[in-house]
Structure 1
Amino acid sequence: MKKNPFDRSMFESQAGNKDTTFMLVLVGAFLLICILYLIRSYLRSRRGGLDPDDVGDQDLAVGHRGILSDVVTLVAGRHHTREVALGRLVEFDPPSVNCTIVRAGDGREVNEDAGRAVLFHLDGEMFVQDRSFFITMPDGIKAEDRALFTGEGEVMNLWFLHERLPYTVNSEVVERVRFPVEMVRNLDPKVGVGYRLIPLTTVTKRDKRQAIRFAHKPGRGALRVYPQILFDVTVQKTDFRFPARGSIPPRITSLKGFPYRASQGADETDFSAERVVNAFKDAIRMNHTEDRRVYVNKPYMDERTNRRTLIELGYTEVLGLSAQEAGRTVHIKKPAQSVMVRRNRRDPHCLNEGDFIVLDYASRSPLDGQNEYFELVCQVIKGGIENITVRPRRNIRQEANLPVEVLDFSVNGFRFENSREFMSYVFGEEGPPATVDRQKEILEGVGFVFTFYPRLRFTRDTEAYRPDLPLKFSILGKIVRSEVEKEEETGDAGHLKAFGVRFMYNPAEYSVDDFCRDRWVMIRPFKENPYFKEVHKSLNGLIAHLESQSRDFLESRHPPEHVVPEKEVVA
């Protein structure tokens, strides 16, 4: 009988199919185990409480990992990010963090400050379990904010300091947990309720400005200097100290400044209205005709918030400068914002008889041509439709803080050059420490108030891009970077060359006792100082306008060559 040549191949094909089926069964079983493990991990993460037995058996630094954890990490990259973030949090070990809610539990995009929260520690180490860490209720959450913060599904930006440098991490609030009594005994703080969070991003250092840096001094920036917007800046050291690690206070309610020199006019015992008016008019006359103006501010008590703020009413012209006799009063035009609301006396921008106002003005020095800046507190004694009459109530106060040279600036910080005067001002008669590292450590912990005086120079063509800025504004900043110039011969660290400053606090309240800003509020992440935000927007528009003009000019100088069409050849 003749053999069928196809019998053997058919047999081998059936054997191959069995092997393939067996491999598919193994792969399916493996995938099923992975799915069951993920479901188990998810169900464990949804528990309302914590089992003290599980906690006692796990490593608090990294948490317990299952057999298939490495495989799951390869499949889901976010688990790796979570591990890295938790590792850095354990390494930095911040005692507390500043919290900002960036997404509500229902998915709405928000940007609300939640205050400070304390991280739980167990037996002296940061409490980590199931790739999660735990915090207390943020102290900025009030009863009326519970709809915004339900404790489940919110995404928060956590901000803290480590070695006086800012770091941030985004985390999701998984659930509200209740700790067993046995665990609370070893917890710090000893609070029975907290919130479990999982990191969504890595821990990122935020010492660099995440915005365009506009050059202020030629040759010291990436962009060219735009003379339309420049600043005179002064610095004042304060008694506020930034912590080396952890969160910073959301509000500063007590701040004491140390002026660089004694302010002229600080002694009010020898006040004379005639002398003040005479000095005021002499200073205004030193300016060009178009600069003979003052910036009007009005202290105002907001009854809704029970806080006193300083309302900016804008620039206005000074009248009666040609009169020989000074007198005891000053006549100025009513600011435009007050003219528009003159019929509504209850409007905060309205100027009524008896209101106190603060006049900011500049005077050009006859010696070097630089501006000197002054402040004068007055009271409205007579109001009119277009003009008002004011009388000084205090001596003129001249800017008494140390000028610094700005190198570049952005929407959330700036850089200035170091000087011998600045180091002597900060460290006093004892002088700076011997080592550069110690100097940096001290400087990065001090809170400085920087006062900015914008110098705006716009023409008729660029007037549309002029930012709406007051004559001066102040920001409390922190030195986050120090540039060190090395010795050429030895290569060792020589001295500090420049400093990078990050804006940290905006002024929040105004005191009519001392006529100064006395309370400050933290600039939250993803927020900017409103004045530098205005400057940033203005410069972006100005640069685009100038580039467009330059392009049009070049095209007019080199018009495209006229192309002569070819004649059609007819056979």
Structure 2
Amino acid sequence: MLKIFKKAPASTQPGSEDLAIKRLNAFGTRSAICTIISNPMGEKVQEEVGLATFYARPSELYSRDGHFYLAPPAGYKLSSGLLRGKGEIVSLSFHFDRTPYTLKCEVIQRVRFRDRLLQHLEPRVEIGFKLKPIGNVAKNENRRSLRFAQVRGVRGPQVAPHFRLDVYAERVSLTGNSDGGPEILSFPGDDPIPEDVKGCTKPEDLVALFHGYIQSNPDHRRSVYLSKMSQDVRFGRTDIVPIGQSDVLGLDGEARTTQIHLRRPVEMLTKDGPELREGDVVILNFALRKFAQGADVHHRWVCRVHKSGVKVITVRPKGLIQKQAGLPVVLKDFSVSGAGLQNSPLLETFLMSGETVPDDPSALLERLEGTGLLLSFYPRTHFQNELAIYKPNVPPVIPVIGEIVRGGIDLGKDTGRLANIGVAFRFDPADYDPMTYEVRSWEPLRALRENPHFKEVHRALNGLLAYMER
């Protein structure tokens, strides 16, 4: 009878804070993209802080009483940054097993760690932030977060052979140059002018060489992608306007000429389609099938419109034929905000810029994180018959500047190896040089702004997946 008066023991069920921290430990998560979604006054904002690291002991996160701790990104200015530790709400985004997750937290306060405690923690950053999880770790099921696989065996929806991307990588200094933009660090010995082009002394030689290039391709690849240079006088900027695919005509002719004849792209046959006039500057993008190199080699050629007919467009050379600079890399998967690259000894050496490559994959990843890359994506599409409506409307090349933010270590060998490299997109082209037609300036991609071409790819491929899953 006395049992009914006995005080029931307190519940031993862990709170949501403890569950969230346990799940982070189970995932082995040690960093995340931190975004402020609410300021101390409770007003909704969307300000990306950057890649932040969690304080951790060798085997688990450092936590106390349902709180864990976050170190600000390298170079983050505590005095002027929006993250002050006064009650902001942040969203932490990260991936586990190629699946995106998020965790909302309240920033309780800014803390200073004692030297004696820091000796047992990583990172050894003196000032950090105390976080309280709001709810549990949540899987992001939004289709916009899908990562499309391009290599067999990689998790994620496969969209090949309908859509693939060839990728070239060049190193970039994200600290910028005197003009305030990222500085491209040229690959030693990488010459964009092919040797056989250097041997051309007259326009007729260039046209003959170009015809030979195109004739070496299979019949279905004997075409170019036509783009037009456009100058906005009001804003003082130059842009590249994609037009469409165009067959190269007159390949069987033996007479030497200074003209290239192109079939008028179907995009120009509509009432509201783009138009070309005599004197317009155009860019011809084309790929050469190089079996010896194991990959296509992408080229571009700046020309000027000589005549724009009803069915045929005639152009003349304005510059030299150039090949894409940089190192060809294998793309494992991609999303609207980043890409996964397959690592290789050649890529490691290239990224280390001549320095000794560490044997320890963790040390190598630590050295590579924060490295800037200019990635040039070349779409390859194959949408026939009823699938044609799902073909994404994208230009022949998509240049994006990204930053290495993560990597995957393969533990199958004795010491393991860095198997893949994760790159987050950071900058989009903002303006092109009217003389060289190369990207002249870049603009940052913010939390609410994504690369428009990868948004279009995601839109189209999501529709393709929905159609194929019927």
Output the TM-score relative to the length of structure 1: 0.57
Match in the other structure for 2:452: 530
Which of these residues, 510, 514, 523, is aligned with residue 432 of structure 2? 510
Summarize the Cα distance change of 1:372–1:162 in structure 2 as closer, same or farther, 3 Å threshold: closer
Mapped contact 2:35–2:50 kept (Cα < 8 A)? no
Question: Which amino acid is 1:157 matched to?
Answer: Q
User: What is the rounded CA distance, in whole Å, between the counterparts of 2:263 and 2:270 in structure 1?
Assistant: 13
Q: Where do 1:95-494 residues align within 5 Å? A: 132=40, 155-162=44-51, 199=87, 201-206=89-94, 211-224=145-158, 226-241=160-175, 253-259=181-187, 261-265=190-194, 271-338=201-268, 340=270, 349-365=274-290, 367=292, 370-433=295-358, 435-486=360-411, 488-489=413-414, 494=416
Question: Could you tell me how far 1:526 is from its partner in structure 2?
Answer: 3.3
Question: Which amino acid is 1:514 matched to?
Answer: T
Question: Could you tell me how far 1:402 is from its partner in structure 2?
Answer: 1.0
Summarize the Cα distance change of 1:268–1:507 in structure 2 as closer, same or farther, 3 Å threshold: farther
User: What is the rounded CA distance, in whole Å, between the counterparts of 2:453 and 2:226 in structure 1?
Assistant: 17
Question: Which amino acid is 2:410 matched to?
Answer: E
User: What is the rounded CA distance, in whole Å, between the counterparts of 1:229 and 1:162 in structure 2?
Assistant: 30
Match in the other structure for 2:12: none
Tell me the alpha carbon deviations over residues 243-272 of structure 1, each in whole angstroms, 9 at most, x when there is no partner: xxxxxx9x9635324136222349979653
Question: Could you tell me how far 1:197 is from its partner in structure 2?
Answer: 10
Question: Which amino acid is 1:155 matched to?
Answer: K
Instruction: Tell me the secondary structure at the aligned position of residue 263 of structure 1.
Output: coil
Instruction: Tell me the secondary structure at the aligned position of residue 429 of structure 1.
Output: coil
Mapped contact 2:404–2:423 kept (Cα < 8 A)? yes
Question: Which amino acid is 1:328 matched to?
Answer: T
User: What is the rounded CA distance, in whole Å, between the counterparts of 1:204 and 1:509 in structure 2?
Assistant: 33
Match in the other structure for 1:179: none
Question: Could you tell me how far 1:281 is from its partner in structure 2?
Answer: 1.0
Instruction: Tell me the secondary structure at the aligned position of residue 239 of structure 2.
Output: strand
Question: Could you tell me how far 1:337 is from its partner in structure 2?
Answer: 4.6
Mapped contact 2:175–2:182 kept (Cα < 8 A)? no
Instruction: Tell me the secondary structure at the aligned position of residue 277 of structure 1.
Output: helix
Tell me the alpha carbon deviations over residues 88-123 of structure 1, each in whole angstroms, 9 at most, x when there is no partner: xxxx9xxxx999xx99xxxxxxxxxxxxxxxxxxxx
User: What is the rounded CA distance, in whole Å, between the counterparts of 2:201 and 2:95 in structure 1?
Assistant: 47
Instruction: Tell me the secondary structure at the aligned position of residue 191 of structure 2.
Output: coil
Instruction: Tell me the secondary structure at the aligned position of residue 405 of structure 2.
Output: strand
Q: Where do 1:535-546 residues align within 5 Å? A: 535-546=457-468
Tell me the alpha carbon deviations over residues 127-169 of structure 1, each in whole angstroms, 9 at most, x when there is no partner: xxxx94xxxxxxxxxxxxxxxxxxx98532121235589xxxx
Question: Which amino acid is 2:169 matched to?
Answer: V
User: What is the rounded CA distance, in whole Å, between the counterparts of 2:461 and 2:286 in structure 1?
Assistant: 24
Question: Could you tell me how far 1:305 is from its partner in structure 2?
Answer: 1.7
Summarize the Cα distance change of 1:206–1:157 in structure 2 as closer, same or farther, 3 Å threshold: farther
Question: Could you tell me how far 1:385 is from its partner in structure 2?
Answer: 3.2
Instruction: Tell me the secondary structure at the aligned position of residue 542 of structure 1.
Output: helix
User: What is the rounded CA distance, in whole Å, between the counterparts of 1:398 and 1:306 in structure 2?
Assistant: 28
Question: Could you tell me how far 1:507 is from its partner in structure 2?
Answer: 1.3
Question: Which amino acid is 1:298 matched to?
Answer: K
Output the TM-score relative to the length of structure 2: 0.68
Summarize the Cα distance change of 1:205–1:237 in structure 2 as closer, same or farther, 3 Å threshold: same
Summarize the Cα distance change of 1:299–1:268 in structure 2 as closer, same or farther, 3 Å threshold: farther
Match in the other structure for 1:560: none
Question: Could you tell me how far 1:510 is from its partner in structure 2?
Answer: 0.8
User: What is the rounded CA distance, in whole Å, between the counterparts of 2:437 and 2:317 in structure 1?
Assistant: 13
Unaligned runs of 5+ in 1: 1-76, 78-91, 104-130, 133-151, 166-186, 243-248, 549-571
Summarize the Cα distance change of 1:376–1:528 in structure 2 as closer, same or farther, 3 Å threshold: same
Between the two proteins, the alignment pairs up a number of residues equal to 369
Summarize the Cα distance change of 1:488–1:356 in structure 2 as closer, same or farther, 3 Å threshold: closer
Q: 398-407 vs 527-536, which deviates more?
A: 527-536
Summarize the Cα distance change of 1:333–1:226 in structure 2 as closer, same or farther, 3 Å threshold: closer
Unaligned runs of 5+ in 2: 1-15, 17-30, 55-77, 101-139
Question: Which amino acid is 2:44 matched to?
Answer: V
Tell me the alpha carbon deviations over residues 296-334 of structure 1, each in whole angstroms, 9 at most, x when there is no partner: 122211122211111111222222112112411111133
Tell me the alpha carbon deviations over residues 176-215 of structure 1, each in whole angstroms, 9 at most, x when there is no partner: xxxxxxxxxxx957xxxx9999755235245675611222
Larger radius of gyration: 1
Cα root mean square deviation, aligned: 3.7
User: What is the rounded CA distance, in whole Å, between the counterparts of 1:283 and 1:306 in structure 2?
Assistant: 36
Q: Quick one: percent identity of the two aligned structures?
A: 28
Question: Which amino acid is 1:533 matched to?
Answer: K
Summarize the Cα distance change of 1:333–1:407 in structure 2 as closer, same or farther, 3 Å threshold: same
User: What is the rounded CA distance, in whole Å, between the counterparts of 2:295 and 2:344 in structure 1?
Assistant: 19
Mapped contact 1:265–1:395 kept (Cα < 8 A)? no
Question: Could you tell me how far 1:481 is from its partner in structure 2?
Answer: 0.9
Mapped contact 2:168–2:376 kept (Cα < 8 A)? yes
Question: Which amino acid is 2:235 matched to?
Answer: T
User: What is the rounded CA distance, in whole Å, between the counterparts of 2:294 and 2:367 in structure 1?
Assistant: 36
Instruction: Tell me the secondary structure at the aligned position of residue 226 of structure 1.
Output: coil
